[in-house]
Structure 1
Amino acid sequence: MEERFVWVTTRRIRPGTLEDFEKAWRPDTHPHGMLRAFAYWSEDGQEITGVSFWDSREACDSWRASEPEAQRRAGMAPYIVDEREGFYRGRELAIPQR
């Protein structure tokens, strides 16, 4: 099976700031090496989990160390209460057919 490289970040944001947070959250440029990205929100709109797929660990690390990412993080900072993040390697699991 194909190995995948994934960056996951979960942030709890201040109540009532989801719209402003989303504006700051989206990068101005598409990061080199990012293949796909997903965002998931809790029902109360105060917790957001971002999942991005990368072509390599190096591509993800390069983006994380870049000036555009530093600026993006600075823009999000006023809205964030708590943040957890991590890089993972993995693969798709086969689901038995019914």
Structure 2
Amino acid sequence: MDEQFVWVTTRRLRAGSLEEFERSWRPDPYPQGLRRAFAYWSEDGLEITGVSFWDSKEACDSWRDSEPEKQRRAAMAPYVVEEREGFYRGRELTVPQR
């Protein structure tokens, strides 16, 4: 199976700020080397997890060090209470058919 490169970020948000946060977190321009991205949020809207798939760790690191990413993080900052992130390598697991 193909190895995948994944950046996962989980942010705890200020109450009632999910919509404003979502408007601020979309990258512009979209990063080179970004294959796919997903967002998952808690029922109460206080936590959001982003999962992005990259061509390589270097592509992800390049984006994370870029000026557009610094600007994006500054735009998100008023809505974020806490942030955790990590970069992972892995693969898709085979799920048995029932």
Q: TM-score, normalised by structure 2?
A: 0.98
Following TM superposition, by how much is the alpha carbon of 1:15 offset from its aligned partner in structure 2, in angstroms? 0.3
CA root-mean-square deviation: 0.5
Structure 2 residue runs without a partner (length 5+): none
| C-alpha separation in 2, matches of 1:39 and 1:51 | 6
Structure 1 residue runs without a partner (length 5+): none
The aligned residue for residue 62 of structure 2 is 62
Alignment of 1:67-86 (within 5 A): 67-86=67-86
The aligned residue for residue 12 of structure 1 is 12
Following TM superposition, by how much is the alpha carbon of 1:97 offset from its aligned partner in structure 2, in angstroms? 1.4
The aligned residue for residue 27 of structure 2 is 27
Between 1:54-63 and 1:22-31, the stretch displaced more is 22-31
What number of residue pairs does the alignment pair up? 98
Say which SS state the counterpart of residue 76 (structure 1) adopts.
helix
Q: Which runs of at least 4 in structure 1 moved beyond 4 Å after TM superposition?
A: none
Following TM superposition, by how much is the alpha carbon of 1:48 offset from its aligned partner in structure 2, in angstroms? 0.2
Between 1:83-92 and 1:16-25, the stretch displaced more is 16-25
Say which SS state the counterpart of residue 97 (structure 2) adopts.
coil
| C-alpha separation in 1, matches of 2:77 and 2:52 | 20
Following TM superposition, by how much is the alpha carbon of 1:67 offset from its aligned partner in structure 2, in angstroms? 0.1
Say which SS state the counterpart of residue 32 (structure 2) adopts.
coil
The aligned residue for residue 87 of structure 2 is 87
Identity %: 78
Say which SS state the counterpart of residue 96 (structure 2) adopts.
coil
Letter in 1 for 2:14: R
